[in-house]
């Protein structure tokens, strides 16, 4: 077995609390299912050899070292990188690679299969690495959209025509409404006065504009627009491959929607209410 | 028919000061009961009613002359539905009762107060708050929060009802001065509000607009969205010739930009205009910045302060970008003219034209006869007529207006109503 070792030794040393995160990602192919009965071929990075349509998420504390093995259980060659952070490595069928990464910068980083970008990443192979320096509650939104037919095209060895892209399914962590509210990592639950962080990554190819009801949130991290840090917003556009962190301090109780304000994104398969729509649940 | 004329005498915002709790006399719905059970806001300072309706006949005219059906909000039963719906203006801290009488003949509607961060009961989201059935009245209670620019829209099958036309702008002004962005903020001399959106005419057929009650949305067809019309305040192409922006050297012009469409808007100001981006989503930006380009994505609002130090004529461009392909699909242009003074060459100072300014109920204008009052979006909302130079402006709500003289088309003045 060929093993690639990839190490990044950054200038800053590990903090006193630094830990080594030993984990693995398994590339598996199956399908993603939507409530209108549509199923699309799909592939994800999984935390075990059991497939789910939700990519595994890696959460590290600032200063941790990531010791990651990526295992290719698919029938095709794949690649792997942490976007903007590590070099691309190839993973032959049945093989694995080791990726070492020092988590010395706070933020959200996308790991994905960059082969024929954005083709392979678009069929599901895009996940989130979150590096944080807080113990406050955090919720995670890997947002994505899907055009019927594109995944089959990619798995068939061709590239979709992105200039005519028209997705009809919209997901957070691989789920559409109303199922997003069943994802405890996605649905924001807290109390008035809590400091809550929402970690977002747009691993799709469309621009989305996430709108909060009930509250404004402060942008505390944006990979694309660092100058927006500190803005208090209720509608946050997030671009393809952009990551963002929001700080939310609820000042009133209640259940409030969060959704894409490109309202086409609140539909699924041509039906309203089956898209990128979840709720915040805030207790007094 | 010219749009400005078609719209005259409608969309007048009537803010009625109410000394006590609003007591409706019409059919009280469960929704109303639920709302009245919500936490008390005490005395209501401002009460306003909107009527939600649909077009049974195609009446809204697009730039190419075609007519389409709309859903929308009006303030008078007899008023035609317009794009956008009337701009609502409140003062910071006011306790507001915004009621909606649904005369849709079918679908329920709501008012979602986008960005106002109202409580759950008044958030206008079906199932999480309440929806208003046909021939019922729903009441929304809230305190007008931070001064800024907001949106109101229906949240029932929102992708459908918003595209159908159920949206408008909502502005909260500081109490001390309507020409102030917020307390200790920026002073401006005039302001314009642009609500940007698109129309896909295939979404405006009678079968879609006049749809039955379908709370789950499962019967509402969501068609592919390929808009043919790209709008600023409901106008496009040559219609925008009737809504130019005219200013003077040194005048501070405040632009309120809002996007309720499903495309991104790229607003480009001409090189001669100093543009400072100072606010977004109803909040001051921590670090205002200068930029000739402002991108506004769905649901966002921006406040931009414009000022020129020389006379020129140019256009402000608004690009419409497909969010899936990131391709610029359309560009609209609005004429912008910066002149030395405002129209009357024989007078040498603007403050001699209008007195007092800000005005309350009466004002003296430089010419007698008929004037057309234009609101922040450049739409005619009414006329002022007098045989002498003294005019009654008590019918104008608090805010800023441009008055255009009917006989002297080269004469226009700006006026602020403050009470």
Distances in whole angstroms, Cα of residue B419 to Cα of each of B12, B16, B173, B311, B357: 17, 13, 12, 33, 12
For residue B330, the distance in angstroms to the closest alpha carbon of chain A comes to 16
| Range of the structural domain that residue B128 is part of | 3-180
Classify residue B215: in a domain, yes or no.
no
* b/e burial code for range B327-348 (CB count within 10 A of at least 16 → b): eeebebbbebebeeebbbeeee
Contact predicate B162/B71, CB 8 Å: no
Q: What CATH number does the domain containing B367 carry?
A: 2.60.40
Who among A165, A256, A266 is closest to B120 (CB)? A256
Q: How confident is the model at residue B419 (pLDDT cuts 50, 70, 90)?
A: confident
pTM over 0.90: no
CB contact under 8 A, A256 and B128: yes
CB contact under 8 A, B325 and A165: yes
CB contact under 8 A, A235 and B217: no
Distances in whole angstroms, Cα of residue B228 to Cα of each of A218, B160, B329: 36, 16, 10
**Is residue B30 scored above 60 in pLDDT?**
no
Q: How confident is the model at residue B375 (pLDDT cuts 50, 70, 90)?
A: confident
Mean pLDDT to the nearest integer, B116-143: 96
**Is residue B20 scored above 80 in pLDDT?**
no
Torsional class of B382: left (φ above 0), alpha (ψ -120 to 50), beta (otherwise):
left
Q: How confident is the model at residue B215 (pLDDT cuts 50, 70, 90)?
A: low
B78 Cα distance to chain centroid: 19
ipTM of the complex: 0.93
The pLDDT > 90 percentage for chain B reads 65
Residues of chain A contacting residue B112, judged by C-beta atoms under 8 Å apart:
213
Q: What CATH number does the domain containing B327 carry?
A: 2.60.40.420
Could you tell me if B248 and B367 lie in one domain? no
Who among B118, B299, B323 is closest to A211 (CB)? B299
Could you tell me if B313 and B289 lie in one domain? yes
Least reliable range by pLDDT among A153-162, B146-155, B183-192, B200-209: B200-209
pLDDT of residue B22: 24
Residues of chain B contacting residue A163, judged by C-beta atoms under 8 Å apart:
325, 327
Q: If 0-12 CB within 10 Å is exposed, 13-18 middle and 19+ buried, where does residue A230 land?
A: exposed
Closest residue of chain B to A164, computed from CA coordinates? B325
Distances in whole angstroms, Cα of residue A20 to Cα of each of A7, A68, A104: 13, 10, 13
- The answer to whether residue A171 neighbours chain B at the CB level (below 8 Å) is no
Closest residue of chain A to B323, computed from CA coordinates? A207
Q: How confident is the model at residue B219 (pLDDT cuts 50, 70, 90)?
A: low
Which residues lie across from B395 on neighbouring strands?
A: none
pLDDT of residue B96: 96
- The answer to whether residue A148 neighbours chain B at the CB level (below 8 Å) is no
pLDDT of residue B213: 61
Who among B114, B220, B323 is closest to A207 (CB)? B323
- The answer to whether residue B76 neighbours chain A at the CB level (below 8 Å) is no
pLDDT of residue B402: 83
- The answer to whether residue A92 neighbours chain B at the CB level (below 8 Å) is no
Could you tell me if B334 and B357 lie in one domain? no
Domains in chain A (CATH in brackets) are 5-283 (2.60.40.420)
Could you tell me if B165 and B107 lie in one domain? yes
pLDDT of residue A12: 37
Could you tell me if B330 and B242 lie in one domain? yes
B165 Cα distance to chain centroid: 13
> Is the N-terminal amide bond of B358 cis, ω within 30° of 0?
yes
pLDDT of residue B357: 84
**Number of domains, chain B:** 3
Long-range contacts of residues A4-8, Cβ cutoff 8 Å, at least 24 apart: A4/A89, A4/A90, A4/A97, A4/A98, A5/A98, A5/A100, A6/A86, A6/A87, A6/A89, A6/A97, A6/A98, A6/A99, A6/A100, A6/A101, A7/A100, A8/A85, A8/A86, A8/A100, A8/A101, A8/A102
In chain A (284 residues long), the average pLDDT of successive 10-residue segments reads 34 58 98 95 97 97 98 97 97 98 97 97 98 96 97 97 98 97 97 98 98 98 98 98 98 98 95 94 98
Helix/strand/coil for B47: strand
Residues of chain B contacting residue A162, judged by C-beta atoms under 8 Å apart:
325
Instruction: Please name the residue ranges forming H helices in A68-145.
Output: 119-122
Classify residue B251: in a domain, yes or no.
yes
Contacts (Cβ under 8 Å, ≥6 apart) of A241 = A83, A110, A202, A203, A223
């Amino acid at each position: 077995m060929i093993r690639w070792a990839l190490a990044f030794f950054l200038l800053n040393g590990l903090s006193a609390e630094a830990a080594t995160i030993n984990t693995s990602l398994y590339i598996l192919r199956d399908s993603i299912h939507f409530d209108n009965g549509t199923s699309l071929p799909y592939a994800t990075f999984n935390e075990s050899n059991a497939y789910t349509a939700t990519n595994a998420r890696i959460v590290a504390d600032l200063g941790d070292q990531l010791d990651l093995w990526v295992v290719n259980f698919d029938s095709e060659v794949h690649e792997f990188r942490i976007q903007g952070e590590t070099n691309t490595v190839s993973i032959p069928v049945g093989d694995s690679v080791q990726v070492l990464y020092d988590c010395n910068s706070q933020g959200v980083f996308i790991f994905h299969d960059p082969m024929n970008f954005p083709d392979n990443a678009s069929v599901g192979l895009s996940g989130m690495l979150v590096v944080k320096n807080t113990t406050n509650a955090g919720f995670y939104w890997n947002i994505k959209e899907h055009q019927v037919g594109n995944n089959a095209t990619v798995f068939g060895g061709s590239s979709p025509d992105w200039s005519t892209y028209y997705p009809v399914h919209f997901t957070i962590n691989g789920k559409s409404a109303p199922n997003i509210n069943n994802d405890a990592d996605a649905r924001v639950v807290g109390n008035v006065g809590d400091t809550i962080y929402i970690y977002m990554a747009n691993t799709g190819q469309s621009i989305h504009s996430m709108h909060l009801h009930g509250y404004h949130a402060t942008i505390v991290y944006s990979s694309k627009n660092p100058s927006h840090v500190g803005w208090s917003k209720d509608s946050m556009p997030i671009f393809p491959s952009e990551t963002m962190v929001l700080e939310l301090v609820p000042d009133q109780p209640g259940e409030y929607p969060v959704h894409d304000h490109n309202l086409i994104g609140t539909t699924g398969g041509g039906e309203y209410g089956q898209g990128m729509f979840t709720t915040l649940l805030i207790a007094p | 028919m010219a749009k400005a004329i078609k719209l005259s005498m409608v969309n007048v915002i009537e803010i009625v000061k109410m000394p006590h709790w609003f007591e409706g006399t019409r059919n009280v719905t469960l929704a109303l009961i639920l709302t009245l059970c919500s936490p008390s806001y005490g005395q209501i300072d401002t009460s306003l009613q909107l009527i939600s309706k649909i077009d049974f006949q195609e009446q809204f005219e697009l730039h190419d002359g075609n007519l389409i059906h709309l859903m929308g909000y009006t303030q008078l039963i007899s008023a035609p539905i317009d794009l956008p719906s009337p701009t609502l203006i409140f003062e910071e801290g006011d306790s507001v009762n915004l009621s909606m009488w649904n005369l849709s003949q079918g679908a329920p509607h709501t008012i979602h107060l986008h960005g106002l961060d109202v409580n759950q009961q008044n958030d206008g989201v079906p199932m999480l708050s309440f929806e208003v059935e046909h021939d019922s009245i729903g009441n929304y209670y809230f305190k007008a929060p931070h001064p800024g620019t907001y949106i109101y829209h229906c949240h029932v099958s929102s992708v459908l009802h918003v595209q159908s036309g159920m949206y408008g702008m909502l502005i909260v002004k500081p109490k001390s001065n309507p020409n102030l962005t917020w307390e200790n903020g920026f002073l401006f001399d005039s302001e314009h509000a642009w609500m940007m959106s698109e129309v896909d005419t295939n979404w405006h057929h009678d079968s879609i607009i006049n749809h039955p009650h379908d709370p789950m949305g499962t019967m509402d067809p969501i068609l592919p969205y390929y808009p043919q019309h790209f709008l600023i305040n409901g106008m496009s192409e040559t219609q925008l010739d009737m809504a130019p922006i005219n200013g003077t050297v040194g005048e501070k012009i405040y632009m309120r930009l809002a996007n309720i469409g499903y495309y991104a808007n790229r607003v480009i100001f001409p090189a001669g205009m100093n543009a400072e981006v100072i606010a977004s989503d109803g909040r001051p930006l921590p670090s205002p910045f200068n930029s000739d380009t402002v991108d506004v994505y769905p649901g966002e609002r921006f406040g931009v302060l414009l000022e020129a130090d020389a006379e020129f004529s140019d256009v402000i461009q608004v690009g419409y970008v497909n969010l899936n392909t990131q391709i610029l699909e359309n560009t609209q242009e609005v004429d912008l003219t910066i002149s030395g003074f405002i129209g009357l060459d024989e007078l040498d100072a603007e403050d001699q034209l209008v007195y007092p300014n800000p005005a309350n109920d009466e004002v003296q204008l430089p010419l007698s006869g008929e004037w057309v009052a234009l609101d922040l979006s450049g739409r005619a909302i009414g006329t002022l007529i007098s045989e002498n130079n003294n005019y009654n402006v008590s019918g104008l709500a608090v805010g800023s207006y441009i008055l255009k003289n009917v006989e002297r088309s080269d004469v226009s003045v700006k006026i602020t109503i403050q009470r």
